[in-house]
Structure 1
Amino acid sequence: MKLGLQLGYWGAQPPTNHDELVQAAEAHGFDAIFTAEAWGSDAFTPLAWFGRETSRVKLGTSIVQMSGRTPTSIAMHVMTLDHLSKGRMILGMGVSGPQVVEGWYGQPFGKPLARTREVVEIIRKVLAREAPVTNDGPHYPLPFHGEGSVGLGKPLKPIVHPLRADVPIWLGAEGPKNVAQTAEIADGWIPIFYTPASAEMYQPWLDEGFARPGARHTRETFEIAATCHLEITDDPQPVVDFLKPVTALYMGGMGAKEQNFHKNVFDRMGYADLTGEVQRLFLSGQKDEAAALIPDELVHALHIIGDEEHVRAKIKEWEASGVTTLVLSCRSAEEIAHVSRVVLG
């Protein structure tokens, strides 16, 4: 099992201890650090900053929102950071949701599967640098000849020669079609709310993607980077209680009532009788009441919380379910050192 450090995105102010966390991850055998973005800080800039202070740990985005940049712009970020880090870049991307895509980026959210495929294809063309980049797809046509065009668009190859044509591309995906496409076109998958208990649900979707003509990987070479909260403690209940509001937020408040992809995941996991009431309470402002409905066993399924022996046993379960990297949020260098000792030995 490899470990990744999830730095996430900033809150109202920049975090004050991420330098310390990154140095600890580098020193204690973590495989990668990951940054995220929502509608505040971006995912690429912190990687450039921390890449300068490290030499071994990989630099990943978990995740970049596709609609925030054109595919060629994403590829430019990737080429630049891969060169500066001497080949440590991992590009993690996702479609986000309609509230962010249309409300923040001012882009249409429709046809996320087709848009994802085009984005990945264009980025791979840029990184291959075999010919001027063109795309006939409807979402990101290159050259552009639509309304407002002056008709002078020219296919271009990147000026920079990419360090690697095969920079890993991992995709965030939740639904059956999205997961299958990820297994077909990507190098890895960044699931949300993946658990050993729910792993069997995803296997047919993954197998469908691996079986498609031209699929890049088999199950043996495909990365699954699952996020969970891992805390080593002899008193797990306060941690479980702390995580219930976070679970309620995603189940009930991350997305519109009519379209909450995270709620759909919990529905598929067998919690449909619970999710509707959690969403109703959360969206009506009764957030504490929504959190109180989250059962302890769901939190324990989503996360790894307990003493050292319990954590080691759970790690084996996650690894047996197909997870290759656990992406963790840690609060201190001491916690990173302790987790590394217990998990990595």
Structure 2
Amino acid sequence: MKLGYHLGYWQSGPPEGALEAILAAEDLGFDSVWTAEGYGSDALTPLAWWGASTSRVKLGTNIVQMSARTPTAVGMSALTLDHLSGGRFVLGLGVSGPQVVEGWYGQPYPKPLARTRQYVDIVRKVVARSEPVTSDGPFYPLPLDGGTGLGKPLKSTVHPLREEIPIYLAAEGPKNVSLAAEICDGWLPLFFSPKSDAFYRAALEEGFARAGARRTAEDFEVAASVPVIVHEDVETAASFIKPSLALYIGGMGAKEVNFHHDVYARLGYGDVADKVQELYLSGRKQEAAAAIPTSLVEDTALIGPPGKIRDELARWEGTVVTTLLLRGNADTLRQVAPVLS
């Protein structure tokens, strides 16, 4: 299983030591480095800025939010970063959730699956540059219906370094995971557990079996974000992760629509997820974190002494996951890499 480094999105400002950690990941033999965006920092600028100091690792977005840019704009960015990186760019896309899509970007959220299908198709047309880009819609009609009536099909002035750039899709629900297997080159799960492997394996197989699917299970990438905390005390290790889980389970999304909450409910933690959400949305964030059992953390993370992590790693190696995406600073990566190798 390959290792990647996930820088994530910024908090109140640029993460301290980001470049040092990225260079450490490359020196340690990591396969890839990834950036993200929420509603603050964007994913593309840090990837280009810090990625310019690397020479080998793949440079990916995990994720670019589709509502933030038109598909042709993302195609332009993909073409540009692929040239600048010498063919190392991986485009990770995701729909985000209705709070961000409609509240931050002012775009409609309904029909995310159909919207994703058309979006990816247009991006691929931009990158391939085989003909002027057109799309019948309904979400991204090209040329635009109405307006001045002067729009015409265009193709990029820039010739691609690669006529196909890998596209991975972030997904948590089974229908979206199946779509990733059908139209993309990889899947980016956020909260994966070996216990859910059969569930997601079936969703992926459904996508691979569809007519025109791009990949098979043998050449499809699954890059999962997995917290890894090496510490002699398991409870202490879990305490570093619980506040973040409380945020995602409890507050990252509306009460009616929170895909992260649903992931843990499917894992058998429905009552816990409901309680965490109730506490978090009422402003009791510390209590929300305290309500998360360590067993829940262990299901989607690797924590504890090195021997325990090595033993549990075997469960992950038997899953659909092909790459573990780690987080932390340079010292964390240097500490964790030998344990996972």
Q: Same fold (TM over 0.5)?
A: yes
Contact 2:201 2:320 in 1 (8 A): no
Partner Cα distance (2:328, 2:245) in 1: 18
Contact 1:61 1:91 (C-alpha < 8 Å) held by counterparts: yes
The equivalent of 1:231 in structure 2 is: 229
Offset at residue 66 of structure 1 (A): 0.2
1:239-276 Cα offsets, whole Å, 9 max, x none, are 21221222121111111111111111112122222222
The residue that corresponds to 1:139 in the other structure is 139
Residue deviations 1:203-243 (CA, integer Å, cap 9, x gap): 22111101000101111111111111112222221121221
Deviations 1:79-126 (A, max 9, x none): 000000000001001000111111111111111001100110001111
**What corresponds to 1:340 in structure 2?**
337
Alignment of 1:101-250 (within 5 A): 101-146=101-146, 149-250=147-248
Which stretch of structure 1 is more off in the superposition, 127-136 or 244-253?
A: 244-253
SS in 1 for 2:5: strand
- Paired position in structure 1 for 2:271: 273
Q: How does 1:9-158 map to 2 (within 5 A)?
A: 9-146=9-146, 149-158=147-156
Residue 322 of structure 2 corresponds to residue 324 of structure 1: yes
- For 1:233 and 1:275, the matched residues in 2 are separated by 26
Structure 2's unaligned 5+ residue stretches are none
Give the Cα–Cα distance (whole angstroms) in 1 for the partners of residues 93 and 49 of structure 2: 20
CA displacement 1:42-85 (0-9 Å, x = unmatched): 10011111221110011000000000000000011110000000
- Name the counterpart of 2:258: 260
Length-normalised TM-score, structure 1 = 0.96
| Structure 2 contact 226–326 (Cα < 8 Å) conserved | yes
Distance in 2, matches of 1:245 and 1:233, equals: 17
The 10-residue stretch of structure 1 (191-200 or 307-316) with the greater mean CA deviation from structure 2: 307-316
What is the distance in 2 between the residues matched to 1:286 and 1:37? Answer: 26
- Distance apart, 1:282 and its partner CA: 1.2
Deviates more, 1:101-110 or 1:268-277: 268-277
CA deviation profile, 1:155-212 (whole Å, cap 9, x unmatched):
0111001111221100001111111111100100001211111111112211110100
Contact conserved, 1:29 with 1:340, CA < 8 A, in 2? no
**TM-score using structure 2 length:** 0.97
Secondary structure of the corresponding residue to residue 226 of structure 1? strand
Query: In 2, distance between residues paired with 1:246 and 1:39?
Result: 17
SS at match of 2:87: coil
Q: CA deviation at 1:26?
A: 1.0
RMSD of aligned residue pairs (Cα, Å): 1.1
Displacement of 1:338 after TM fit? 2.5
TM-fit CA distance, 1:301: 0.9
Q: What is the aligned-residue identity percentage?
A: 57
Matched, 1:283 2:281: yes
- 2:125 counterpart SS class: helix
CA contact under 8 A between 2:237 and 2:304: conserved in structure 1? no
Contact 2:168–2:184, Cα closer than 8 Å, also in 1: yes
